[in-house]
Amino acid sequence: METLVSSDAQIEILASGFEWAEGPLWLEDQQALIFTDVPTNKIWKWTEQDSLGLYLEPSGYLGDRTDKNEPGANGLALDAAGNLILCQHGDRQIGKMRASTEAPEAEYEALATGYEGKRFNSPNDLVFNSKGQLFFTDPPYGMDPWDEKELDWQGVYRLDPDGKVSLLLDSLSRPNGIGLSPDQKTLYIAQSDPKKARYYSFELDEYGNVLAGKVLFDATSLQSESKKGLPDGLKVHSSGILFATGPGGVLVISPEGKHLGTILTENGTANCGLDSEEKYLYMTADGFLLRIKLNGTE
């Protein structure tokens, strides 16, 4: 734990006042962090120089309904060309827009909207591999109401560069955060089920198919009144260690499944992200954007 986070490291509050902050993503070309506020259908941008500003609205739903509880985008990623790829709750799709402009517009191309003729639930989190394959989770949290569900499972999918969508997993009750090991041979999934609050690892073949899987770490027993939150978003450090949101804040877990420690945020923590130099871990925790300094970056 000490190799990554000093025991006396202090959490900084960078911004607050959000309904449910999610999806932190570092934009290297702008030296900025963008993140979503899912209930308000917005994406915010934070920089060291200019602090906080609105980046994009709407982010995940362009329709006319006003009864949606979580219409906005959730997880964010950049493709190899620098396009912003969004898990769009309200529109129930993986969408794409340009991320290289200082004044982005809410115009999206649908990359994937469903599987075998049925609409996705509400794509939640995503990660690219070096081949341009996109792995993403599809729990029902963004659906209003859940009886609009068309699929009989909460899936984990792979979107290939040619547009083909493949179902990788249909056995997880609430797949949520997702990440890849540095060698891209292991897929990590967080399951935000209070009865089975777990992090899973799945072995991938060279084509991006799941070969085998196991429970990497079970956090069910860590839940308490003082340690709020469930397994949600996660990021994989270049060392292979996982920063995985869960009970109490952000759990630090080795690739072998050992719980090294927890960064305590005192809030339900939705997701986390790293800057390109891994100097800071940025965390979205309830209504807050936080960060903590990491070791090994001087």
* Domain spans, the chain: 19-227
CA distances (Å), 63 to each of 68, 73, 106, 187, 215, in order? 10, 13, 12, 34, 39
For residue 45, give the nearest of 282, 292, 297 by alpha carbon: 282
Predicted confidence (pLDDT) per residue in 49-76, tens digit: 999 999 999 999 999 998 899 999 999 9
Mean pLDDT, consecutive 10-residue stretches, the chain (298 aa), reads: 92 97 96 97 96 96 92 97 95 84 82 98 98 98 88 98 98 98 98 97 98 97 94 97 98 98 95 97 98 81
Query: What is 19-227's CATH number?
Result: 2.120.10.30
What lies within 8 Å, CB to CB, of 195 at 6+ separation is 220
Predicted confidence (pLDDT) per residue in 200-232, tens digit: 999 999 999 999 999 999 999 999 999 999 999
